[in-house]
A and B are shown apart, each in its own frame.
Chain A
């Protein structure tokens, strides 16, 4: 019976939970990385959607040290804790988050130009 492929029990959702080991389920899976223009050549980079089990303050500390920029954590009623960094750090953040295994590449969504 199990020789016939069609009769084998197949769970189509078996691999659906794969992405959950890094980001908690329920929340949106994406980490949004955005850029915003300020006056002149200056920019801000915001990172939204990092899971609640990561300490944003510590992350910011690491970001600041690594990318040599300033940054803060901003508490937003709708979007939760958002990391805000000075300058265009989109590439750096992507690289960093993948390196430390916080997120996979397909979970990052880079916005802006």
Chain B
């Protein structure tokens, strides 16, 4: 029966499968209204990955774009690869190759005419060669420009950030000053909030179906340990969010009623981490959750801030199933 085989996922239409995305923490994984936006932001986030050294100088616009999404968008769960690094290296290699070629060519010319070492000399033969080579380079450049487009952006921004008003008579603009102060701040302490973001890497949850109606979260206790949270707390959150019931079985795995996929559990976990694990001020994951007069407080080990977090509420539960309905009627 296809009905049994099919894994429950209300997000997808009958047979259309969504393209698998790497597990990056974008808010709700494309659901909700701001899905598109989140993706865009993600793309923006991926950008700094490419050139970490270049990231120091970013435009202020970039910063602004980051700010709203800065929650945990870079929480990746291991299976995410760095894609951006490659094209650049290829490009460099090719340039190196080109240089080698140039050298070889230079040697050849040397053998032909011993005196001239300078390639730029306007003898006819050499000029031809030179032009040829340059043409090649340009071609290569063109081919790689698409891949490098984003990187180029970053680089071009950097040129603005220097004291561009230094030599000129004109007054500096607000944006320029803002850039400057941000750069200085980042140089002085890279761990700062507005600066580079730490990656918070997590194990992906292992989710296995048990029979047809239950789902097992195999490494539940491992993840609890990783997050330094009590299993009880995470359990309460998961069950409240998913609107089901479940329990921890003998092998320390969580069995949840209902069909869930790894992707869906990941989404919920992301939300948990965002709310209950990372510090709301500095976003460091080194936090302690304390209970104080019925309220939970998140104490950060890094910046020592302390803030209250929302309590876990199940909210309204609709009655599903015949037996539950009968019971509800009897009451």
Residues of A in contact with B (beta carbons under 8 Å apart): 32, 34-41, 43-44, 46, 48, 74, 76, 79, 82, 84, 87-88, 90-91, 94-95, 98, 105, 110-113
How far apart are A52's CB and chain B's nearest CB, in angstroms?
A: 16
How far apart are A108's CB and chain B's nearest CB, in angstroms?
A: 8
A-chain residues with CB within 8 Å of residue B242 when the two chains form the complex: 112-113
How far apart are B220's CB and chain A's nearest CB, in angstroms?
A: 16
A-chain residues with CB within 8 Å of residue B165 when the two chains form the complex: none
Known: A35-B243, A36-B317, A37-B259. A110 touches B6 (CB 8 A): no
- Docked-complex contact B33 and A34, CB < 8 angstroms: no
- Docked-complex contact B11 and A88, CB < 8 angstroms: yes
A-chain residues with CB within 8 Å of residue B260 when the two chains form the complex: 113
How far apart are B106's CB and chain A's nearest CB, in angstroms?
A: 62
Q: Which of the 9-residue segments B97-105, B151-159, B262-270 touches chain A? A: B262-270
Known: A79-B315, A91-B33, A110-B31. A36 touches B10 (CB 8 A): no
Residues of B in contact with A (beta carbons under 8 Å apart): 3, 6, 8, 10-11, 28, 31-34, 240-244, 258-260, 263-265, 267-268, 315-318, 320-321
- Docked-complex contact A105 and B33, CB < 8 angstroms: yes
A-chain residues with CB within 8 Å of residue B317 when the two chains form the complex: 36
A-chain residues with CB within 8 Å of residue B241 when the two chains form the complex: 111-113
- Docked-complex contact B243 and A34, CB < 8 angstroms: yes
- Docked-complex contact A48 and B316, CB < 8 angstroms: yes
How far apart are B68's CB and chain A's nearest CB, in angstroms?
A: 11
Interface of B is mostly: loop
- Docked-complex contact A112 and B243, CB < 8 angstroms: yes
Smallest CB-CB A-B distances: 9 pairs: A113-B264, A88-B10, A37-B258, A36-B243, A79-B316, A48-B316, A82-B316, A38-B320, A94-B33
A-chain residues with CB within 8 Å of residue B33 when the two chains form the complex: 91, 94-95, 98, 105
Q: How far is the CA of A91 from the CA of B36 in the complex (A)?
A: 13
* Given A36-B317, A41-B8, A111-B240, 8 new contacts (CB under 8 A): A37-B259, A46-B318, A74-B318, A87-B10, A94-B33, A98-B33, A110-B28, A111-B315
How far apart are B310's CB and chain A's nearest CB, in angstroms?
A: 10
Checking B34, B240, B318 against A84 with a beta-carbon cut-off of 8 angstroms, the contacting residue is B318
- Docked-complex contact B318 and A41, CB < 8 angstroms: no
B-chain residues with CB within 8 Å of residue A94 when the two chains form the complex: 32-33
How far apart are B10's CB and chain A's nearest CB, in angstroms?
A: 4
How far apart are B267's CB and chain A's nearest CB, in angstroms?
A: 5
A-chain residues with CB within 8 Å of residue B243 when the two chains form the complex: 34-37, 111-112
B-chain residues with CB within 8 Å of residue A111 when the two chains form the complex: 240-241, 243, 315
Q: How far is the CA of A74 from the CA of B317 in the complex (A)?
A: 11
